Structure 1
Amino acid sequence: MAEKKLIGVDLGGTTIKFAILTNNGEVQQRWSIDTNILDDGAHIVPDIIDSINHHLKLYQMTADQFAGIGMGSPGSVDLKAGTVIGAFNLNWKTLQYVKRDIEAGTGMAFTIDNDANVAALGERWKGAGENEDEVAFITLGTGVGGGLISNGQLIHGIAGSGGEIGHMTAQPGGYLCTCGKHGCLETIASATGIVRVARDMAEEYSGDSQLKRSLDDGDEISAKIVFDLAKVNDPLAIMVVDRVTNYLGISLANVANLLNPAYIVIGGGVSAAGDFLLQRVTKVFKENVFPNVRETTQVRLATLGNEAGVIGAAWLAKNVMASK
C-alpha cells in the first residue's frame, strides 16, 4: 500500500502557497494564489478549500490518498481548536474556525500552527536544521519571528507565545514596538527596523556616504540597499549594519545560552545578505555566549527560502496526525 501524501499550506498576507509532498517531505507539486483579504478576510478559507479541491481534480487525486493538510498562519493560533484570531494582515480581527471549515470542505484531516513555528519545522526537517532535535529559528522580514524546537517538538509555552524572539528586549528603552513595549529586537533587526536605524544614524552622521546622501535626498531605502552599500564599504551603511548585527548577535547568544540548540537558523528576507550578515552576527554571538555553547551551537543561514512554510506545514500534517 502506497504511503499517504501530505498537503502543506503557507498562508501569507499577499499570497497563499500550496504544495503536495511525499511522506518523506519531497515536494511533488507547488502552486500559489493571491490572498483576498477583502470583507474581513472572509474569502481566504473558501479560496483555500477551492484551490485544494481544484488541484486534486487536476492531478486526478482523491482525499483518501492524503494523511492530511497542515498550515502555517499569522496571528494567534489555538492548536487544539484549530482557530485563528488577530491576524491583522489578513483582516482576521474575529475568531476564524479554520480547521472546522477546511476539514468540512476538503474531507481531509487538518492541523495548524503559527507561521514562524511552521517555517522553523520546515528548516529543521529538510533545511539547515539537518533534522536535529534541538533547533532555534529566527526569521528577519517585515517583522522578526521565531520558532524554537526542543526534543524534536515546538515550544509553544502556556499561551502559544513560546519562541517570540522578535519581542526579546534588545535595547531597553529603545524604539516603540507594535506590541506596545520598547526596544524589541524586531524594532532593530527587521527590514523596517534596519531602515529606521539608518535614518536615525544618518541624522547624526556628517561624513561622506552614499546612504547619507540618499536619505538626505528623501530617496526610498530598504534593508537590502543598506546591506548592499555596506558591502562596498559605505561608512554609514557599515555603522548601521554593525549596530544591527550587534543587537542581533547578543539576542541570539541569549537564546543559545537558554537552549543550547545544535543550530540557530536565520531566515527571512534580510538573510539574503548572506555571509556578510552571518559573519558579523556570528562574531558578536561568540563573544557573548557561554563557552560550552560556543563550541556546540552553530549559527547558520536558512536554505529552503520560500518552501520552508509548505514543508513545515507538511511535517505538521504528518506528525500531528500520527500522534492521534
Structure 2
Amino acid sequence: MSDKKLIGVDLGGTTIKFAILTDDGKIQQKWSIRTNVLDEGSHIVPDIIESINHHIDLYKMDKSQFVGIGMGTPGTVNRQLGTVIGAYNLNWKTSQPVKEQIEAGTGLKFAIDNDANCAGLGEAWKGAGNDGDDVVFITLGTGVGGGIVANGELVHGINGAAGEVGHMCVEPNNGYQCTCGNYGCLEQYASATGIVHLAQDATEEYVGNSPLKEMVDNGEEVTSKDVFEIAQTGDYLANQVVDKVCFYLGLACANISNTLNPESLVIGGGVSAAGAYLLDRVKNNFEKYAFPTVRTSTVLKLAQLGNDAGVIGAASLAKQFD
C-alpha cells in the first residue's frame, strides 16, 4: 500500500464533488463547487483544474504526494483518449478533451469513466460490496443507471455501454416509451420519474379514496418519495404502485443476477432512500424469478456510501498509476 493520495472528482449537472483520499480509500478532505454549464460547458474543466490546484495549496500539500486524479462524468466516455461527448446536462455536445486539459492544468495523471460506473466502483470497493470481485450496482434516480464489476474489473463492453441496466426491457407488451426510443425499459418504471408516471396512471383508474389520488387529482406535485411515504401509511393505491415498481425491479435484478451471479447486487440512488420497505419487496420478486443457485448465492443490498460513492469510485480509477 502506498502512502500517496488519490483525488476523486464526481462531475454532475448541478454540482462537482471533489475528495482527497488515502490509497486505501479513506476520505481525508472533500469539497464541492457549482457546475457552470454556460457557454457550452466551456468553464467546467478550467473550474475543476482551478479548484484542485487551489485546494492542494490550501491544504499545504505538494503534487508529488498524489498518485493521480480519477473522474466520473455523464455522457459517452472514451477512456483511452480521455474524452467525453454527449453529456447534454453539461452542455457538452461536442467531444471534450478532458484528460489532456486536466493533466496539462494540474501536472497530475488523470483517468476518467462514466459516472454510474464510478458509483458502482465506489460501492464495490468501500461500500455494500465489501471489496468483492463480483458486484452489480443499480442506481435509481431521475433515470436508472448501473455499474458492473466482474473479476475485480469494471465491465465496459465493446462500445462502453455495458451496465446500462435502465434499458433492460421489463414490459415488452404496451410498455411506456423510453427516452432511448424503445418501449418498456426498466428506467420507465423504477426511476423517480417512472414511479410518478405509474402513480398518475394508477390514479386515473382508481375510484376509491386515497391521499395519493387526492394529491394527483388536486394537481399537486407528486414525487416518488411521496408515493413510498403514503404507501407506508397503508394506502391501497400507493401500495399498488409500489408493488409494481418492486415487481419490475425484482425481475430486472433476477435477470441480471441469472446472467452474472454477482456476490452482491447493490441498489442505490435517491429512490433507495425508501430503505427496507423497498428492498424487502424487491427481494420477494427477485427470489421468484432467480435461478435457484443464484437465489441462494447473490445477495441484494442497499447502498451504503450515499453521495460519496461517486468520488470514492472515481478516485479508485487513479490507483492504476500507483
TM-score w.r.t. structure 2 length? 0.99
SS at the partner of 2:181? coil
1:216-250 per-residue CA deviation (whole Å, 9 max, x = no partner) reads 00000100000000011111100000001100000
SS at the partner of 1:265? strand
Q: Which runs of 5+ in 1 are unaligned?
A: none
Residues 102 and 110 of structure 2 are in contact (CA less than 8 Å); yes or no, is this contact kept in structure 1?
A: yes
What's 1:294 paired with? 295
Distance 1:267 1:241 in 2: 17
Structure 1 position 4, deviation (Å): 1.0
What's 1:46 paired with? 46
User: What letter corresponds to residue 131 of structure 1 in structure 2?
Assistant: D
2:109 maps to 1:109: yes
Q: Which contiguous aligned blocks of 4+ residues in structure 1 show a shift greater than 3 angstroms? A: none
What's 1:244 paired with? 245
Distance 1:150 1:2 in 2: 25
User: What letter corresponds to residue 96 of structure 1 in structure 2?
Assistant: Q
What's 1:159 paired with? 159
Counterparts of 1:1-324 in structure 2 under 5 Å?
3-172=3-172, 173-318=174-319, 320-322=320-322
SS at the partner of 2:111? strand
Structure 1 position 2, deviation (Å): 6.5
User: What letter corresponds to residue 68 of structure 2 in structure 1?
Assistant: G
Structure 1 position 212, deviation (Å): 0.3
Distance 1:70 1:211 in 2: 43
Residues 77 and 84 of structure 2 are in contact (CA less than 8 Å); yes or no, is this contact kept in structure 1?
A: yes
SS at the partner of 1:161? coil
Distance 1:236 1:100 in 2: 53
SS at the partner of 1:178? coil
Structure 1 position 307, deviation (Å): 0.3
Cα RMSD after superposing both structures:
0.9
User: What letter corresponds to residue 93 of structure 2 in structure 1?
Assistant: K
SS at the partner of 1:128? coil
Distance 1:102 1:5 in 2: 17
User: What letter corresponds to residue 68 of structure 1 in structure 2?
Assistant: G
Distance 1:37 1:301 in 2: 32
Distance 1:198 1:93 in 2: 34
User: What letter corresponds to residue 87 of structure 1 in structure 2?
Assistant: A
TM-score w.r.t. structure 1 length? 0.98
User: What letter corresponds to residue 161 of structure 2 in structure 1?
Assistant: S
Note closer, same or farther for the CA distance 1:265–1:2 as it changes in structure 2 (3 Å cut): closer
SS at the partner of 2:94? coil
Residues 166 and 187 of structure 2 are in contact (CA less than 8 Å); yes or no, is this contact kept in structure 1?
A: yes
Structure 1 position 258, deviation (Å): 0.1
Distance 1:7 1:170 in 2: 38
1:109-144 per-residue CA deviation (whole Å, 9 max, x = no partner) reads 000000000000000000000001000000000000
Structure 1 position 107, deviation (Å): 0.2
Aligned residues: 321
Distance 2:125 2:135 in 1: 10
Structure 1 position 153, deviation (Å): 0.3
User: What letter corresponds to residue 234 of structure 2 in structure 1?
Assistant: N
Identical pairs, percent: 63
Distance 1:303 1:207 in 2: 38
1:181-223 per-residue CA deviation (whole Å, 9 max, x = no partner) reads 1111001100000000000110001111000010000000100
Deviates more, 1:22-31 or 1:55-64: 55-64
Structure 1 position 321, deviation (Å): 1.8
Distance 1:235 1:40 in 2: 47
Residues 37 and 91 of structure 2 are in contact (CA less than 8 Å); yes or no, is this contact kept in structure 1?
A: yes
SS at the partner of 2:296? helix
